[in-house]
Amino acid sequence: MAASAIRTEGLSKRYGGLDALKDLDLEVGEGEVVGYLGPNGAGKTTTLRLLLALIQPTAGRAEIFGLDCQRQSVEAHRLLAYVAGEASLWPALTGLETLHLLGRVQGRVDESYRDELIGRFELDPSKKVRAYSKGNRQKVILIAALMTRADLLILDEPTSGLDPLMEQQFRHCIHEARDRGQSVFLSSHIMSEVEALCDRVGILREGKLIEMGTLAEMRHLSSLSVEVTFDGVLPDLSGVPGVSAVHAEGHVVRCQVRGSAEPLLKAIATSGATRVLSREPSLEELFLAQYGRKSEEEMPAAETSGN
């Protein structure tokens, strides 16, 4: 039986009294592209650092292609490439020197692909790292990971600091990797990025995996934040199908819309709306809309058990 690219069992990490990650059971199959979504502080980086043995679990275990992440880390690392969230590099080395070093340490590099990536990401490799912007440092780390053509790519918010054009390039590279049969595990706090790339998505919140499934199964989560300005009396939108989290303030009503926007548009069409703004909600807003009530219910229970 082929081992999965990543498998964790009850993986947990505590920092003092804080559960940064609690009982994570996760599996990433070979050749799969899996997104790992969660708001800031959810425990994404903690999970990835556990997989890479940069930190040690308080409980549970993890495997990469059947190799124990902690005890066989060197062997496991031969099969993967990692992009860290914070791109701190050696300031005195140039981009090319950095890539050369990281390639030699990894022990496997597709040099022509490396040069192609340098071109695609429009990186000037002759500059010293200290002269690079944050985005350029991020490019160096991305290229260093992609150029290895590793069997598994583990990426921690890889597009932070990249401009939209480069983000597009990045997505292109991930599609290529998938086509070559590489597995990808990608953390992000941006819904749309994960939607564009991943076969399956896990959603993490306060250290717990609360959802895991295909994008189709996740549809109920995708929604829009809408802000409508009226010049007259505010209509009551709370009964409109698909609309939730309605909040009125002065002439402005804010709400979340799930599924079709048609009922909402119908409802406001006759009420003198002067301005309609819509945007993708932040994950935090989504979670508030989806789970807010639930965690409020949980709280008193937690209090009584604490006493």
Partner 1 sequence: METEAALLGVARIGRSPGSVVARLTARKAIRSGILWGYVFGVVVASSAISYVSIYKTQIARDHLEAAFGANHATSALFGPASQLQTVAGFTVFKASMTLMLLGAVWGLLISTRLLRGEEDAGRWEVLLGGQTTRSGATLQTVVGLAGGAATLWAITAIITVVAGLSSKVQISAGPALFLALALVATAVMWLAVGALTSQLAATRRQAAAYAATVLGVSYAVRMVADSGIGPNWLRWASPLGWVEELQPLTSPRPVALLPIVAFTAALSAVAVHLAGTRDLGTSTLPDRANATPHLQLLSGPVAMTMRLIRSTIVGWGVAISLTGLLVGLVAKAAGATISGSSVEQVFSRLGAPGTGTATYLGVSSLIVAVLIAFVAGGQVTAARAEEATGRLDHLLVRPVSRERWFAGRCLVAASGLVACGVLSGVSTWLGAASEHAGLGVDTMLGAGLNAVAPALCLLGIGLFTMGVWPRATSVSTYGVLGWSLLIEIVGGVGALNHWILDTSLFHQMSAAPAVPPNWATGGIMLLIGLGCMAAGAMAFKRRDLTGE
Ligand X SMILES: Nc1ncnc2c1ncn2[C@@H]1O[C@H](COP(=O)(O)OP(=O)(O)O)[C@@H](O)[C@H]1O
Q: Which two tokens stand for residue 271?
A: 């009420």
- How far apart CA 19 and CA 134 sit, in angstroms, is 30
Q: Which is nearer to partner 1, 8 or 98 (CB)?
A: 98
Q: With binding defined as CB under 6 A, does residue 158 bind ligand X?
A: no
Contact between residue 63 and residue 10 where contact means Cβ atoms under 8 Å apart: no
How is residue 131 written in tokens? 């002269």
Quick count: other Cβ atoms within 10 Å of Cβ 211? 16
x/- letters, 91..130, toward partner 1 (CB under 8 A)? xxxx-xx--xxx-xxxx----------------xxxxx-x
- Told to check if 45 binds Mg ion by CB under 5 A, we report yes
User: Is residue 38 a contact point for ligand X (CB under 6 A)?
Assistant: yes
Site for partner 1 in 185-214 (CB under 8 A): none
The yes or no reply on residue 20 touching ligand X (CB under 6 A) is yes
Phi, psi at residue 98, to the nearest 5°? -60, -45
Which listed option, partner 1, Mg ion, ligand X, none, makes contact with residue 38 (CB within 5 to 8 Å by class)? ligand X
Query: Is residue 40 at the binding interface for ligand X, with CB under 6 A as the rule?
Result: yes
3-class DSSP assignment, residue 228: strand
CB of 162 to partner 1, least distance (A): 18
What is the closest distance, in whole angstroms, from the C-beta atom of residue 193 to partner 1 in the complex? 22
Q: Applying CB under 6 A, does 43 fall inside the site for ligand X? A: yes
Q: Do the bridges between strand 183-188 and strand 80-83 make them parallel or antiparallel, or are there none, so unpaired?
A: unpaired
Which of 24, 26, 42, 154: binder of ligand X (CB under 6 A)? 42
Looking up tokens 């140039």 gives 94
Count of residues of this chain found to bind ligand X when the rule CB under 6 A is applied: 11
Which one of partner 1, ligand X, Mg ion, none is in contact with 82 (Cβ closer than 5 to 8 A by kind)?
partner 1
CB crowding 68-85: b at 16 or more within 10 Å, else e: ebbeeeeebbebbbbbbb
- Can you read off the two tokens belonging to residue 200? 């399956």
Our CA dihedral for 142, 103, 181, 283, rounded to 10 degrees, sits at -20
Name the amino acid, one letter, at 287: F
Tell me which of 4, 8, 12, 46 binds ligand X, using CB under 6 A.
Answer: 46
> DSSP letter string over 54-65?
SS--SEEEEEET
Structure tokens at 22: 């609690």
Q: Which does 86 bind (CB under 5 to 8 A by kind): Mg ion, partner 1, ligand X, none?
A: partner 1
Q: For residue 98, what are its two tokens?
A: 């950095």
Closest separation in Å from C-beta 118 to partner 1: 12
How far apart are CB 186 and ligand X at their closest, in Å?
13
- Of residues 247 through 276, those in contact with Mg ion by CB under 5 A are none
Q: Is 86 in the site for partner 1 (CB under 8 A)?
A: yes
Gyration radius of the chain over CA positions: 22
Q: How far is the CB of 70 from ligand X (least distance, A)?
A: 17
Round to whole Å and give the CA distance between 3 and 11.
18
H/E stretch holding 53 reads none
Binding residue (CB under 6 A) for ligand X from 7, 22, 44, 178: 44
Point out which residues bind partner 1 (CB under 8 A). Answer: 49, 52-56, 73-75, 77-78, 80, 82, 84, 86, 88-94, 96-97, 100-102, 104-107, 124-128, 130-131, 141, 144
Binding-site ranges for ligand X (CB under 6 A) = 15, 18, 20, 38, 40-46
